[in-house]
Structure 1
């Protein structure tokens, strides 16, 4: 794409920066006069004033040049350059077929996460896709690839909020009957119930199941488990479940609660358990959590009410379900590859063990052969000695009989080795476990674990 006539390339910016900084000597290599040519080009655009020649040559930035450099170094310009780099990155990944290994292509200062963020803001990004950076811990590899942007590929459903509740969903009724669990002040409990009712009805219309949630103090779970599982509604979108919680935002001016002094009136349990008094604001928020989602929240703002954003809650559930499905597929693929690698390592280890066993047997048989051959040559030497004494003759006869009864030491049964024990294979596996892909060798005295 051609640049505008006002565009400054990196070389021009370097020379302009040098001139604005005072044209320090030694900034360019001795005998290199390319910067003087660049300076003439900048002078023609009114950014520099060039005088002299040879040793008297000099370049001074004009007021326009100083202003232009300041504009180039402004935040907007830096962001524009980042977006341009992001567009180029998008083009590179597309040219590579949607996945690009950039390992070793940057320097230590390269912020790939920032480049990916800028790329995703570029208009060059394919609709319905966004760029991600994949880097497995310890692998040393950085791979950029596209994945579906489900926020663009899914619709935001309409979630009408009833003005009055004549009948309630069973899950919402449980919420309305328990003030200890409502997380909103009494004046706004009705609104919170209508919000939950709207979400429950819309979820079921989309084919999802809705159940009542659980308070965070619900026994017998630990406090941490209860906090993770606490919610007002549980929406089941097969095979995943998502938790929805509505609460009121706390205002300023709260005071530390003295739990040793009895309250003049009974407070709901969700307020009583807090260390500070609750200051009502009337501003509500809905939090959605579950597989494929970090905590997703919508709330009342100056420009939007909570009710106008409830469609995003159900869209978040759809997005989370799709993200969880992709993650499950990715984990399954990694599990499959890891299993194949383990099985391949086990096959290779067994082959190495068998080779070593055969070589060891061959060496033993060769040593036996050499011993028998040495004895045979010794006996042959005795036979040619004349006038052997009676004792020597008896020895020679015995030696002949031994040679006759000793078979030739061939490496019999070399290809019928017994199955190796797991501990015998372990030293050939180079970090894998012979006891299973995720297993560790059993402790002494315990039965051997079966492989996965």
Structure 2
């Protein structure tokens, strides 16, 4: 944790107080994943020292030791090195560990703050209630969001199911229209062919008896049967059976929805 001995005991008492208070509220706690302390300028991005979870919302805690800053007085060696080498940079400040601590929280939606630090007027011991409350508020916000997400997902599924039901209706209507238009085309085609067959009969009557006339009559007989089969009026007229639609069949009628589910 990179804490000096001067503050270790107090830091652990603060941690113990936090864990005791949050466990009484039913929150779960666990050791963090930190294995070593990062460099001071990267310590806020380090792995947590401990975690407290309220209503499913995990909050990561870092216990940091503050640093005092003082103007740096260059040494003779630093001045000499800087004069010899252009890449040498003399630091502007010196940092030393202070006896002040800072508690940082990450995870969830911030309410009051993300960090609490010792001040002359308010040491961290006086701010522990706020920190515990912050964990609870983040847990409540997470639970509200979870419930809202569930409701939004439920409403989305209902809208998807309604869209699927309507798409199946529209698909069935499209199948009927397609069948009707196909019958109309077949009927007109049959009428045109029947007119042509009538012309064939007139022509055949003028043919001499024999092979040529027999062939023409055979052709007319087959053509007449074909027209009979082609003309939808010669069949049973009824509503067509609607095949079970596939996903691709419904896609044109879904207006942006995915046939495989509301989450796609």
Q: 1:356 aligns with which of 168, 174, 186?
A: 174
Structure 1 position 395, deviation (Å):
3.1
Matched, 1:186 2:5: yes
Partner of 2:132: 314
Alpha-carbon deviations, 1:398-423, whole Å to 9, x = none?
Answer: 53554346333259786323333333
Which protein is richer in helix relative to its size? 2
Confirm whether residue 203 of structure 1 aligns to residue 22 of structure 2: yes
Report the Cα offset of residue 239 of structure 1: 3.1
How many Å apart are 1:315 and its aligned residue?
0.7
Q: Relative contact order (alpha carbons < 8 A, sep ≥ 6): 1 or 2 greater?
A: 2
Alignment of 1:349-388 (within 5 A): 349-380=167-198, 388=206
Q: 2:67 aligns with which of 217, 233, 250?
A: 250
1:49-448 alignment, distance < 5 Å: 181=1, 183-215=2-34, 217=36, 227=45, 230-253=47-70, 278-293=95-110, 296-380=114-198, 388-389=206-207, 390=209, 391=212, 395-396=216-217, 398-400=219-221, 402-404=223-225, 406-407=228-229, 408-409=231-232, 415-439=240-264
Distance in 2 separating the partners of 1:432 and 1:312: 46
Residues 435 and 188 (structure 1), Cα distance of their counterparts in 2 relative to 1, 3 Å cut: same
Residue in 2 that maps onto 1:61:
none
Displacement of 1:381 in angstroms is 5.7
Conserved? CA contact 2:179–2:240, under 8 Å: no
Asked whether the 8 Å contact 1:349–1:428 carries over to 2, the reply is yes
Q: CA deviation at 1:326?
A: 0.7
Question: TM-score normalized by structure 1?
Answer: 0.44
Which sections of structure 1, spanning at least 5 residues, go unmatched? 1-180, 219-223, 256-275, 440-452
The total of aligned residue pairs comes to 231
Contact 1:213-1:234 within 8 A present in 2 as well: yes
CA distance in 2, matches of 1:282, 1:209: 29
- SS at structure 1 position matched to 2:69: coil
The verdict on how the C-alpha distance between 1:346 and 1:217 changes in structure 2, with shifts beyond 3 A counting, is farther
C-alpha deviation, 1:433, in angstroms: 3.1
Give, in angstroms, the shift of residue 375 of structure 1. 2.9
Tell me the alpha carbon deviations over residues 48-75 of structure 1, each in whole angstroms, 9 at most, x when there is no partner. Answer: xxxxxxxxxxxxxxxxxxxxxxxxxxxx
Change (3 A) 1:285 1:370: same
Unpaired segments of 5 or more residues in structure 2? 73-92
2:88: which partner in 1? none
CA spacing shift, 1:254–1:193, aligned 2, 3 Å: farther
Paired residue secondary structure (2:105): strand
Q: Residue 234 of structure 1: CA displacement?
A: 2.3
